[in-house]
Amino acid sequence: MSPATITSQLKEKFPEAILDITEFADEKILHIKSQHILLVLTALKSAGYNFLADLTAIDNLTLGGFERFAVSYHLLCHETAERLTVKAYVSEEKPTLPSVESLWKTADWQEREVFDLYGIIFEEHPNLTRIMNPDDYEGYPLRKDYPRLGRKERDDFPVVNRGIRKKKPLE
């Protein structure tokens, strides 16, 4: 099913879920409310979009959008070789949305990565822990209000003393 027909079908089927349908560089982008993501993606999967190519997030702090965060899903249909982007909008106060791990196992690690770098919580995810950063890391580095040079985390690294005596400086 081509992206144009499937998006119009979805708009009829879930009128309350879809915020907008836009197009950039001849590719359709479906903007939806985050609580309906599982419904919409289940419908898309049964319509032939069987491959979740990529799952990531965008912090819309200065870009502007429906909400602070957008979680974007890049779907691929192996039959017709067509791609579709779905963006689910998540608010800053309650950054939660349903996990799609039940549809695609690849969402497991990708959702963990989004959680690690953006602090977006995926409900009913089997193991939502940090994947890139250490478990005791504070903050979410890819958020726009996180400074590029970090928050002095490096200064607090514990010093490992292996019992090696310091060399005396040459006189």
Partner 1 sequence: MNRVTEQPIETDKMVLNFGPQHPSTHGTLRIIMELEGETVKKATPEIGFLHSGFEKLGEDLDFNQYITITDRMNYLSPLCNNVAYALAAEKLMDLKVSKRTEYIRVLMCELSRIADHLLNVGMLAVDLGALTAFLYGFRLREDIYDLFEIATGTRLTTSYTLVGGLMRDIPDGYDKAVIKVLDETVEVTNEIETLLNKNRIWQDRTKDIGSISKEDAISYGISGPMARASGIDWDIRVNEPPYSSYEDFDFDVAIALNGDVFDRYLVRMEEIRQSIKICRQSLDKMPTGDVSIDPDLGFSLPPKDEVYNSIEGLIYHFEVTMPNRGMTPPVGEAYVPTESPNGELGFYIVSDGTRTPYRVRTRPPSLMNYSIFSKLIEGHMLSDVPAILGSFNVIAGELDR
What single-letter amino acid sits at 52? Answer: L
Q: Are strands 82-90 and 69-77 parallel, antiparallel or unpaired?
A: antiparallel
Site for partner 1 in 60-99 (CB under 8 A): 62-63, 72, 74, 76, 78, 81, 83, 85
Which of 109, 126, 151, 153 touches partner 1 (CB under 8 A)?
Answer: 109
Q: How far is it, in rounded angstroms, from Cα 75 to Cα 132?
A: 24
CA dist 109 to 46, 65, 126, 150, Å?
A: 23, 26, 10, 24
Q: How far is it, in rounded angstroms, from Cα 102 to Cα 72?
A: 17
Q: Assess 54 for contact with partner 1 (CB under 8 A).
A: yes
Nearer to partner 1, 121 or 131 (CB): 131
Residues contributing to the site for partner 1 (CB under 8 A): 24-25, 27, 29, 50-54, 56, 58-59, 62-63, 72, 74, 76, 78, 81, 83, 85, 104-106, 108-110, 113, 117, 130-134, 141-142, 146, 148
